[in-house]
Amino acid sequence: MVISAVAAMVVGSLWYGPLFGKAWMKLVGISKDDVNKKDIPKMYGTMFIGALIEAYILSLFIHYAGAFNLILGAKTGLWAWLGFVATTMIGNYMFAKRPMNLYFIDAGYALANLLVMGAILGSMF
């Protein structure tokens, strides 16, 4: 599970860094200067704990589904995303009148994250 949590951190760093970082910051209305450097370790620590919990719960889904290989693990991540993440997030973003492009960036990250974590966890069983 630790490996998949580390992978989630890598996916997040790429997603909100070189891939979509500038667009995401513009959509949420912040700049690099708005981030307090002393808060970064706390933020990353909190995210890592969240990734560990997510990996544990996803591993339970994979176990219950019998998804014991890379492809089936990734598919389990896809179904978890579609059933719980994408559907919950869309309503939140619509009622908050947040830009749909922001939804696509954030939901896309969650999808990429669950696919990678699912593939790793599925291949470990």
Query: How many angstroms separate the Cα of 111 from the Cα of each of 2, 28, 33, 37, 49?
Result: 19, 20, 28, 28, 19
Tally the domains of the chain: 1
pTM value?
A: 0.95
What confidence tens digit (pLDDT) does each residue in 15-63 have?
Answer: 999 999 999 999 999 998 888 788 999 999 999 999 999 999 999 999 9
Specify the pLDDT at position 60.
Answer: 98
Give the range of the structural domain holding residue 49, as residue numbers without chain letter: 2-124
pLDDT for 35 equals 81
What is the pLDDT at residue 46? 98
